[in-house]
Every structure is written in C-alpha cells, then in structure tokens.
Amino acid sequence: MERVLAYTSQQLALYMKENQFNQLYEHIWMFQYVTEEECQLIQNPVTIDSQIKSIDLMHFGWNIGNAFGKPRLQTATFIKKVFAHYSP
C-alpha cells in the first residue's frame, strides 16, 4: 500500500488540491479491499487539474490496479467513479 500511495503522490499531488488529494487517498485505501460492485457505489469523486489527460488517468489506474492484483474491469470502474468530474 505504501508504494501505491507514494506513486499516487508522485504522479498526481501537483494536480490536485489538498482536500481532493486526501479524498483520493481514502478511495485508494478502500480500492485494495473492494469488489467491482462496491466500486460502483463510490461517492465523492475527486477533481483534478485539466493538465492531466485521460491517458494519464488510464495509466495511473492500470498501475495501481496491477499493484493490488485487480481485474481490468474493476480498475476501470474505480477510475471512472473516482474521477467522475474529470473533463479534459
């Protein structure tokens, strides 16, 4: 988990407000334990700077999903729900 949070900080901290970043940490902490169905229930999506592109979020999702051994569909659902406010 520490590696995933360090990676998250390295990749996204500069593109988010502190409260949004803290919310993202909470979502990631939960992601390691939940099922795809539970990912569908995620509330409170985070807001991220438009400098981050869709491909960046997909790459980020793949990396954390891979670290947790999550299936691609579950990872995609997680990213879609957590970054629901994202618009490039």
Domain limits, the chain: 2-82
pTM value is: 0.90
Q: How far apart are alpha carbons 33 and 26 in whole angstroms? A: 12
What pLDDT is stored for residue 49 in this prediction? 93
What is the average pLDDT across 3-29?
96
Q: How would you class 75 by CB atoms within 10 Å of its CB: exposed for 0-12, middle for 13-18, buried for 19 or more?
A: buried
Q: What is the pLDDT of residues 36-81, one digit of tens each?
A: 888 888 889 999 999 999 999 999 999 999 999 999 999 999 999 9
